[in-house]
Amino acid sequence: MKKKPYFIFSIITSLMLLLAACGTADENTQSGSGAEGDNAPETKTLRVVTDAAYAPFESLEGDKIVGFDIDFINAVAEEAGYELEIENVGWDPIFVEIESKRADLAVSAITITEERKQSYDFSHPYFLSTNKILVPEDSDIQSAEDLKDQVVAVQGGTTGDAAVEGLLGKNNTNIKKFDNNNLAIQELLQGGAAAVVADNTVIEEYVANNPDQGLKVVEDTHAFELEFYGILFPKDSELKAEFDEALNTVFENGTYAEIYQEWFGSEPDIETLQSQQ
């Protein structure tokens, strides 16, 4: 007499388990893995590293990494058939992570230079840049030449750092080097430096977004070279060819221009970029 309810209960439980199992199988079919699900190609996730202290290219919004570079690399990766996991590791660690192949690629407003090309591979150029000088509004600094006997703050290991070393001398203690560009700007705001040298788009955006901080941008097209950003890969990475092809597709199908418009409100010069390939 006591056994009956238990028996019914166990039948119901078994039925429920059976239904649940069917449900799972069904869901698998719908999600596309199907009967041959085990053989279906899975989208590969690549590990991407960046230094998210370089708005508008990459910066943190809460714990989310946002910026032109982020939208750009997601569009190119989607075209190439990859998913991305983007991690904010800081500037110097980017190069360690890529060289040791712990990361698959880096996007971080990284200028393609001959020196870096010795140790890394770059994609085709995707952005045009040059260094400019950020100074207080009332500064007398009008050119790179005027930086020579001044204290200049830079992000260490950048092309801005190299340009200032070229002007002031490699070991000049007047060059204050910081781990990220925001710290260099803080030093300027606190009066610890007379200028910051960094990528034009970054400091122009900074001035536009902080009109109350009394800063201005000085350009010197003679002293500072034209630079191009590229996606950074470990040397001989097979991803380079795939990403170069996908990059040209997003250049040509309007996706790049759309992302560029969103972030900069103007048309990109794709012709100039492609002429560098």
User: To the nearest whole angstrom, how small is the minimum distance from the Cβ of residue 88 to ligand ARG?
Assistant: 10
Minimum separation from the CB atom of position 116 to ligand ARG (A): 8
d(CA 277, CA 272): 10
Q: In the complex with ligand ARG, which residue's Cβ is closer, 33 or 65?
A: 65
- Per-position x/- string for 126-145, each x denoting binding to ligand ARG as judged by CB under 6 A, each - no binding: ---x----------------
Verify binding: residue 120, ligand ARG, rule CB under 6 A.
Answer: no
Count residues near ligand ARG (CB under 6 A). Answer: 15
Is residue 159 at the binding interface for ligand ARG, with CB under 6 A as the rule?
Answer: yes
**Cβ closest to ligand ARG, residue 108 vs residue 255:** 108
Q: CB-hemisphere CA count at 13 Å for 246?
A: 18
How many Cβ atoms sit within 10 Å of the Cβ of residue 149?
Answer: 9
Question: In the Cβ-directed half-sphere of 214, how many Cα atoms lie within 13 Å?
Answer: 8
Dist. CA 150–CA 11, nearest whole Å: 85
CB nearer to ligand ARG: give 66 or 249.
Answer: 66
- Tell me, residue by residue from 160 to 199, as one string, x for binding to ligand ARG by CB under 6 A and - for no binding: ---------------------x-----------------x
Smallest CA-to-CA distance from 259 within 80, 126, 134, 116 is with 126
Q: How far apart are CA 196 and CA 178, in angstroms?
A: 11
